Amino acid sequence: MTTRALLRSAPAATLGLALMVALPAVFAQNDTNTPGATSGGIPGQEQHGPSGPGAEPPRGNVVAPSSAPASSPSSTTDAAAQQPSGTLPPPKQVPLVPAQATWNTFHGQLNAQKYSPLTQITADNVKSLVKVWEYHTGDMSDGSGDRPTSVWSATPIFANDTLYIGTPFYRVIALDPGTGKVKWTFDSKSTLKALTQPALKNRGVAYWQSPNPVAGQPCQKIVYLGTMDAQLFAMDADTGKLCQGFANKGVLNVDQWNDVNNKYPLSLLQPPTVAGNHVIMGWAGKDWAYAEAPPGTVFSVDPQTGQRQWSFAALPPEIAPRTGTANVWTGMSVDEGLGLVYLPVSSPSPNYWGGNRTEKIPLATSTTALNLETGEVVWSRQWVHHDIWDYDINSAPTLMDITVNGQQIPALMQATKMGFLFVVDRRTGKDVWPIEERKVPGGDGSIQGEVYAPTQPFPTKPAPLLDQSKKPPIWWVADALGLGQCSRLWKSLDYAGMYSPPTHNNNGVLAYPDSAGGVQWGGVAFDPRGKTAIVNFSHVVQSIKLYPRKEYEQLAGGSGNEQGFYPQEGAPYGMSLDNALNWLGMPCWAPPFGEIAAIDMSTGDIKWRRPIGASQKWGFYMPESMGSVTIGGPAVTAGGVIFIGASMDAKVRAYALADGKELWSDIVQAPAVANPAVYEYKGREYVAFIAGGNTILKDQVGDQVAVYALPK
Amino acid sequence: MCTFADKVCADARRTSGGRGNQRVERTFLPCSFKSLLPYRQARKLGSIDLTSSHSHPLGPIMVLVAAGAAVLLGLYYYFTPLTGVTGAPGVLLVIGSSLALVLDAFILWFGGRGWLFGVFWVLGLLGAFGTIVAAWFLHAWWLAAAIVFVFAGLIVTLAGPSQPRRAAA
């Protein structure tokens, strides 16, 4: 009897299963294969034991009544920093892995596996892959004019025999999946100003279709597009015409619910997560700008009417006015069988100083499981206590059924910026492999009002993707060409392990991995047949320094994109964030700068890892053995192939799932900074990449949809 | 239209026959190029002493053609979409260095065999080396191949016999 079959039987069986799963977790704690056990924390200090049962109820929070504004229509459950109930909804007969090839969400499937069961393209024939069509949207900007730079991190979605894409100019284009011929376009005519993020960003669109379509009626299939100015557009998937029955003639003003610390609009850059009868939205804000910011509420609305169904807030209402965010700005995952939606929750504001939020905020920087129907918190695991490093949980957790020590476990893997991969039972949030609370460095006294978490959670398996226990080695080439510049920088930066807090002393603190390092929003792919997880990640070093307000005002010039000076307005400290580079712009830390790895999810061991892509500056490629910083993520197929862009060199590649060997590559217009889509149309398997670029990687923008298949 | 080439050849013959020496005024450009210029315009280009020996043209021509090809390839890499280095500043660098090699080829051809030849031969070698390294890191393989021919041309220039410039008696 499978675990999933047990789940379907009855709630009582579910409770029983929770106990059963706790046992292998206990057994797993005795597993001595813990290569990462000494990584992180304070080197040489006694480590604390496992944190026990794992998912802890929040402390210091008050359950509050709904904070929904009066204008919210027919809201049912408006939750604010709820206590986890631990109660699973009644299970449904919905398999975790769709029976047929599906790529109709940002991560391919609601389970975020980015897995295709298609087998036409294999490791043996992928070298024959050719570009069968490409499409240029025209929606890109290099920032040279009045229009901000475009950053396009969308995954195309395949649904309704159509390939739907959203653009950074907030248009939707419906394409023929076999030819790239335009079926229809929709222009939201949204403002093209960087109201929150420093660039015009878009991560695509979402799709819903009625389980009981009414013949002859429009909007039985709907495509959703969010905009920088917090408008959600709903349009008929067949025609591109706005759905008149949705909110205000097809447009939902989500900013109507922006009623606390309304400093900026709730930018809908990430497409909503659509599951069952719910369109669930997080939002993105303005990083590092304000101490007090809108609290990170997540909204669920009705797919056809736009009426608010429930909301969730990670911040307790009594704390929210003096902080903010703890929002969900990236994708979510859903187990429709369990009836849970999993939220990767970001850190509260301001990002690098926490003196305004000294209380515990257990739902911040967490993975939080909500009842899909009600929005109630079922369980939550906080991955960074009192986050003062901007370690937002930035990708949808990947749901997977695995067998560990002979026990079948419905698990999820949460990738993080820290390079940790946390694996827990997705019904309860409890450890699959032990997650230990370890002592971490405290402050040096230079920052007033700050409190520091004495411990942080450290997974013992899989091993950390990066060694964050000590300063990364210096790249001698950069140091030599910089005439010792890197060595001097390293000496001037504090670092006693990853959780070394920001400081005012010297040149600040070394951040490794930094907020742009580790794993980004592409998340983890999973091959359910071989129980193999695939993840790409970056090695990036930055320096962070806090400046008392007066000093900051004197020093701060303009801010760059994702680095430079940032005010943290309202906090007593502004901050600076800089990449650790020499005067030539070369990284001071030793390569590889980015890698891709495969993990055996039965043992938690890494099967293989290798550098990914090539770094590129002014057009010059560095050797591929050095790898590239990566943004974007993989897709994996039953044909034994991993497809991924993600690298600085604007190439898309195929790797062998078995051993990581590079099998194929092609040049695209700009780095492909999202997951590719894999779909079948009229008997032919296609792989689609969006090459839009991201200024975090380099100043190269694109508007290309590149689609590949085997020759006929 | 009277071209500079017609004029200078006639002048050279006149000067040689009339004064019995071998000093003639000539422009920096070869005849084939001279013929493209009107006389007055080309005359402004200056003069060089031709008493020194003159390089055999094979080597410089190889450098010229290969460097010219490198310029064209660089332009292709820079302007053509999806070369991987489209619009990249590094490509402008190799276009510039390839243009410098074109100039170098002319100097090696017509600059005589004196110290100027040595200086520009070494500069050409260094320029070609830098360009091929840059092309390699740009993954501009065709451009790197063109620079291999520049190297070959430089070697031929050095190894080939000098061609003394003698005015007609």
The larger pLDDT score, comparing residue A62 to residue B48, is at B48
Residue A418's identity, in one-letter code, is M
**pLDDT of residue A472 exceeding 90:** yes
Q: What is the CATH number of domain A3-65+77-709?
A: 2.140.10.10
Q: What is the pLDDT of residue A563?
A: 66
Q: What is the pLDDT of residue B53?
A: 55
Q: What is the pLDDT of residue A442?
A: 93
The partner residues of A679 in beta bridges, in order of sequence, read A686
The larger pLDDT score, comparing residue A41 to residue A457, is at A457
In the numeric block, which tokens belong to residue A652?
A: 């898309």
One digit per residue, the tens of pLDDT, for chain B of length 169 reads 333 334 333 443 443 433 334 443 333 334 343 433 333 443 443 333 434 455 678 999 999 999 999 999 999 999 999 999 999 999 999 999 999 999 999 999 988 778 889 999 999 999 999 999 999 999 999 999 999 999 999 999 988 665 554 443 3
Considering only the beta carbons, identify the residue of B82, B88, B90 that sits closest to A667: B82
User: What mean pLDDT is predicted for residues A93-101?
Assistant: 95
Annotated catalytic residues of A are: 390
**pLDDT of residue A394 exceeding 50:** yes
**Closest residue in chain B to residue A669, using alpha carbons only:** B82
Q: How far is A525 from chain B (nearest CA, A)?
A: 27
pLDDT-derived band at A81, boundaries 50, 70, 90: low
Q: Order of strands, edge to edge, in the sheet holding A605-611? A: A524-527, A532-538, A594-600, A605-611
> Does the distance separating the beta carbons of A620 and B90 come in below 8 Å?
yes
B88 CB neighbours in chain A (<8 A) are: 618-620
Separation of CA A695 from chain center:
17
A612-670 tens-digit pLDDT: 999 999 999 999 999 999 999 999 999 999 999 999 999 999 999 999 999 999 999 99
What's the pTM? 0.85
> Does the distance separating the beta carbons of A669 and B81 come in below 8 Å?
yes
Considering only the beta carbons, identify the residue of A619, A622, A651 that sits closest to B90: A619
Q: What is the pLDDT of residue A559?
A: 52
DSSP string, B130-141: HHHHHHHHTT-H
Separation of CA A131 from chain center:
29
Q: What is the pLDDT of residue B56?
A: 74
CB pairs under 8 A between A and B: 30
Span of A52-61, A97-106, A517-526 with lowest mean pLDDT: A52-61
Contact A327, A284 (CB under 8 A): yes
Q: What is the pLDDT of residue A28?
A: 29
A217-244 tens-digit pLDDT: 999 999 999 999 999 999 999 999 999 9
B131/B70 Cα distance (integer angstroms)? 9
The partner residues of A605 in beta bridges, in order of sequence, read A600
User: What mean pLDDT is predicted for residues A123-144?
Assistant: 97
Share the mean pLDDT of chain A.
89
B1 lies within 8 A of chain A by CB: no
Span of A512-521, A615-624, A688-697, B40-49 with lowest mean pLDDT: B40-49
Q: What is the pLDDT of residue A556?
A: 83
User: What mean pLDDT is predicted for residues A436-457?
Assistant: 96
In the numeric block, which tokens belong to residue A89?
A: 């909804």
For residue A28, which phi and psi values (nearest 5 degrees)?
-60, -25
**pLDDT of residue A595 exceeding 80:** yes
Q: Interface of chain A against chain B, CB under 8 Å?
A: 618-622, 649-651, 667-669
**pLDDT of residue A309 exceeding 50:** yes
B138 CB neighbours in chain A (<8 A) are: 619-621
> Does the distance separating the beta carbons of B89 and A618 come in below 8 Å?
yes
Q: What is the pLDDT of residue A109?
A: 98
pLDDT-derived band at A546, boundaries 50, 70, 90: very high
**pLDDT of residue A52 exceeding 60:** no
pLDDT-derived band at A339, boundaries 50, 70, 90: very high
Strands (DSSP E) along A32-178, which ranges?
77-78, 115-116, 130-136, 150-152, 157-159, 162-166, 171-175
B132 CB neighbours in chain A (<8 A) are: none
B89 CB neighbours in chain A (<8 A) are: 618-619
The larger pLDDT score, comparing residue A428 to residue A559, is at A428
A601/A612 Cα distance (integer angstroms)? 21
DSSP state of B19: H
The domains of chain A are located at 3-65+77-709
> Does the distance separating the beta carbons of A651 and B138 come in below 8 Å?
no
B82 CB neighbours in chain A (<8 A) are: 667-669
pLDDT-derived band at A369, boundaries 50, 70, 90: very high
ipTM above 0.95, yes or no: no
pLDDT-derived band at A287, boundaries 50, 70, 90: confident
User: What mean pLDDT is predicted for residues A35-41?
Assistant: 36
A185-218 tens-digit pLDDT: 999 999 999 999 999 999 999 999 999 999 999 9
In the numeric block, which tokens belong to residue B152?
A: 């070959």
> Does the distance separating the beta carbons of A651 and B91 come in below 8 Å?
no
> Does the distance separating the beta carbons of A651 and B134 come in below 8 Å?
no
Residues 124-143 of B with CB under 8 A from A: 134, 137-139
pLDDT-derived band at A113, boundaries 50, 70, 90: very high
The domains of chain B are located at 4-43, 54-163
> Does the distance separating the beta carbons of A618 and B81 come in below 8 Å?
no
A254-286 tens-digit pLDDT: 999 999 999 999 999 999 999 999 999 999 999
Q: What is the pLDDT of residue A555?
A: 86
Separation of CA A673 from chain center:
12
B139 CB neighbours in chain A (<8 A) are: 621
Q: What is the pLDDT of residue B160?
A: 65
